[in-house]
Chains A and B, each alone.
Chain A
Amino acid sequence: DTAVSQTPKYLVTQMGNDKSIKCEQNLGHDTMYWYKQDSKKFLKIMFSYNNKELIINETVPNRFSPKSPDKAHLNLHINSLELGDSAVYFCASSQVLRLATEAFFGQGTRLTVV
């Protein structure tokens, strides 16, 4: 059973399109995150949600809109895609929103904007 699953794994789309990435965790965790990993493998947090409530929005363009319908799901919708949005997006979850809590990551979604 996959703990944190995200779909799709690969996404190729044209500039200007709108796309969504879905994430689900079956660990019963309260907190979920979206991270972006660039071509140099640098991993940066974008958003975090705790019990469906937005906690962190790290100065991400408002073309990116996360939505958490329940605490097991955190989806990421991206409007008007740009070339610079190409990256690997990781969903993650942790038991609580607290220091030193292990983060469990999904397999990532490789987004390529052409």
Chain B
Amino acid sequence: QKEVEQDPGPLSVPEGAIVSLNCTYSNSAFQYFMWYRQYSRKGPELLMYTYSSGNKEDGRFTAQVDKSSKYISLFIRDSQPSDSATYLCAMSEDKIIFGKGTRLHILP
């Protein structure tokens, strides 16, 4: 079992829809949980990070961590075509481990 599992997609949703992106993990020692956005041929950009369990909101983005289920989510409200990118979950105990990324397409 891989340490971090993430569905690669692609995920296509209409503009304005709520997007739900998810990752599962196996290492219960992970403490920090991050979401990155990566546009084609660019480096990843940190969107949000959460320490331990709970929710965190930033504008249209909400991150959730459920440590009991080893499951994290990123919700995007009022999705825009500019949100089309690959979304990477990442988590760390000492080193940072990334998921494979989910390709998201927002259809105008």
Q: Do A and B come from one complex?
A: no
Q: Which residues of B contact A (CB under 8 A)?
A: none
Q: Which residues of A contact B (CB under 8 A)?
A: none
